[in-house]
Structure 1
Amino acid sequence: MTRAMSEPSEGTVEREARVQVSASHAVDELASRGRELFTLPKVAVDVLELTNQPHTDAAALKACIECDPALTARILRVVNSSLFGLGNRVTDLAHAIGLLGIKPLKMLVLGFNLPPALFEGLDEEALQLYWKTSLIRAAASREIARVTGSADGDEAFLTGLLEGLGILLLIQHLKDAYTNFYLQVESSGRDLAEVEREQFGFHHRQLTAKLLQNWKFPREWTEAIVRPATVSNQGGLASILELADHLTRFLAHPEAIDVRPLINAAADRFGLTIDQVQQLVDHLEGSVPSLAEIFSLPWDQAQYVQCLTTAHQLMSELAEDPDAHVSPATASHPSRDEGEAANVRSALNAWLDRRPVDSRRSVPTSRAPSPTPPCAAAAAPVAIPRPTTFDPGLVGRLRQAILLARRTQRSVGLCLFEFEDAHELKWVVGPECLPALEEILRQLVEAELEPSFPSQVVRDGQVAAVCIGHDRSRIAHSARAILDQLGPRVERELAICVPASAAAGAAVVRIPTKNLDPAEIVEAAERCLYAAHSAGGQTVKTIER
Structure 2
Amino acid sequence: MNTSIHLIDGLARRASHLYTLPNVAVRVLELTNQPQVDSVALRECIEKDPALTTKVLRVVNSSLFGLRRPVSNLGQALALLGTKPLKLLVLGFSLPTGLFSGVEASTLQWYWRRTLTKAVAAREICETLGRGSADEAFVAALLQDLGMLLLIQELGAPYADLVDKARQHRCDLLALEAASLGFDHTTLTALLLADWGLPKAIIDTVAWEPDANADAAPPGAQRSDLERASVPPEGEHGHDRVGGVVHLAEWIARLLADGRADALDRLLEIGERDFGLKPQGLHALVASLQDKVAALAEGLSLELSESFDYRELMAAAHVRLAEAAADAAGELLRVGAASPGLAGEMQSVSEAAARWAHRSTRPVPTEAVNDSPPSCGAIAALPARERETVGPNPIGRSAPRRCAAPTVRGGGSSLQPQDHRGPNRSAEIDGGLLGHLTAAVSVCRQSRCPLSLLLVELSHSDALVLNRGLEGFRRFRSELETACRRLDHGPATCLAHGEAGFAVILKGCDRQLAVRLGNALIEKFARAVPPADIDQRALTTISVGIAAVSLPPRNFPAQDLIQAASRCLYGSRSCGGGVVKSIEIY
Distance 2:341 2:395 in 1: 38
Q: Which residues in structure 2 correspond to 1:233-272 (within 5 Å)? A: 233=232, 235=234, 236-254=241-259, 256-272=261-277
1:135·1:161 contact (CA, 8 Å) conserved in 2?
yes
Equivalent in the alignment of 2:25: 44
Equivalent in the alignment of 2:366: 376
Amino acid at match of 1:376: T
Q: Which residues in structure 2 correspond to 1:55-454 (within 5 Å)? A: 55-81=36-62, 83=64, 90-229=71-210, 232-233=231-232, 235=234, 236-254=241-259, 256-300=261-305, 303-305=307-309, 307-315=310-318, 334-357=339-362, 359=364, 376-377=366-367, 420-421=373-374
Q: CA deviation at 1:533?
A: 8.0
Amino acid at match of 1:268: R
Distance 1:150 1:86 in 2: 20
Correspondence 1:35 to 2:34: no
**CA offsets 1:474-518 (integer angstroms, 9 cap, x no match):** xxxxxxxxxxxxxxxxxxxxxxxxxxxxxxxxxxxxxxxxxxxxx
Q: RMSD between aligned alpha carbons? A: 3.7
Distance 2:208 2:265 in 1: 21
Equivalent in the alignment of 2:403: none
Secondary structure at 1:299's aligned position in 2?
coil
Structure-2-length-normalised TM-score: 0.56
Distance 1:281 1:88 in 2: 25
Structure 1, 331-340 or 206-215: larger mean CA deviation: 331-340
Distance 2:74 2:7 in 1: 44
Secondary structure at 2:389's aligned position in 1?
helix
Structure 1, 45-54 or 311-320: larger mean CA deviation: 311-320
Check 1:148–1:59 CA distance in 2 against 1; reply closer, same or farther (3 A cut): same
1:278·1:315 contact (CA, 8 Å) conserved in 2?
no
Q: CA deviation at 1:30?
A: 0.7
Distance 1:423 1:282 in 2: 27
2:28·2:45 contact (CA, 8 Å) conserved in 1?
yes
Check 1:52–1:145 CA distance in 2 against 1; reply closer, same or farther (3 A cut): farther
Amino acid at match of 1:340: E
1:135·1:291 contact (CA, 8 Å) conserved in 2?
yes
Q: CA deviation at 1:295?
A: 1.0
**CA offsets 1:150-188 (integer angstroms, 9 cap, x no match):** 210000000000000100110110111111111211333
Amino acid at match of 1:233: P
Check 1:346–1:72 CA distance in 2 against 1; reply closer, same or farther (3 A cut): same
Amino acid at match of 2:295: S
Structure 1, 130-139 or 319-328: larger mean CA deviation: 319-328
**CA offsets 1:176-208 (integer angstroms, 9 cap, x no match):** 111111121133333321221123211101110
Q: CA deviation at 1:144?
A: 1.5
Equivalent in the alignment of 1:451: none
**CA offsets 1:447-498 (integer angstroms, 9 cap, x no match):** xxxxxxxxxxxx9999xxxxxxxxxxxxxxxxxxxxxxxxxxxxxxxxxxxx
Q: Which residues in structure 2 correspond to 1:506-517 (within 5 Å)? A: none
Amino acid at match of 2:288: H
Distance 2:154 2:385 in 1: 27
Amino acid at match of 2:149: L
Q: CA deviation at 1:140?
A: 0.9
1:166·1:204 contact (CA, 8 Å) conserved in 2?
yes
Q: CA deviation at 1:109?
A: 1.0
Q: CA deviation at 1:31?
A: 0.9
Amino acid at match of 2:308: Y
Q: Which residues in structure 2 correspond to 1:479-490 (within 5 Å)? A: none
1:47·1:64 contact (CA, 8 Å) conserved in 2?
yes
Q: CA deviation at 1:344?
A: 1.0
Secondary structure at 1:97's aligned position in 2?
helix
Correspondence 1:528 to 2:389: yes
Distance 1:128 1:35 in 2: 25
Secondary structure at 1:103's aligned position in 2?
helix
Distance 1:133 1:32 in 2: 27
**CA offsets 1:506-543 (integer angstroms, 9 cap, x no match):** xxxxxxxxxxxxxxxxxxxx562597889659xxxxxx
Equivalent in the alignment of 1:492: none
**CA offsets 1:357-414 (integer angstroms, 9 cap, x no match):** 554xxxxxxxxxxxxxxx7136xxxxxx8xxxxxxxxxxxxxxxxxxxxxxxxxxxxx
Amino acid at match of 1:58: S
Distance 1:321 1:342 in 2: 31
Secondary structure at 1:202's aligned position in 2?
coil
Distance 1:154 1:353 in 2: 40
Secondary structure at 1:303's aligned position in 2?
coil
Secondary structure at 1:228's aligned position in 2?
coil
1:257·1:327 contact (CA, 8 Å) conserved in 2?
no
Distance 1:295 1:533 in 2: 27
1:254·1:311 contact (CA, 8 Å) conserved in 2?
no
Q: CA deviation at 1:76?
A: 3.3
Structure-1-length-normalised TM-score: 0.60
Distance 2:109 2:78 in 1: 30
Alignment size in residue pairs: 369
Secondary structure at 1:304's aligned position in 2?
coil
Amino acid at match of 2:269: N
1:62·1:93 contact (CA, 8 Å) conserved in 2?
yes
Distance 2:30 2:233 in 1: 30
Distance 2:295 2:95 in 1: 20
**CA offsets 1:405-443 (integer angstroms, 9 cap, x no match):** xxxxxxxxxxxx998448869x9xxxxxxxxxxxxxxxx
**Residue identity (%):** 35
Amino acid at match of 1:267: E
1:224·1:232 contact (CA, 8 Å) conserved in 2?
no
Amino acid at match of 2:307: Q
2:96·2:374 contact (CA, 8 Å) conserved in 1?
no
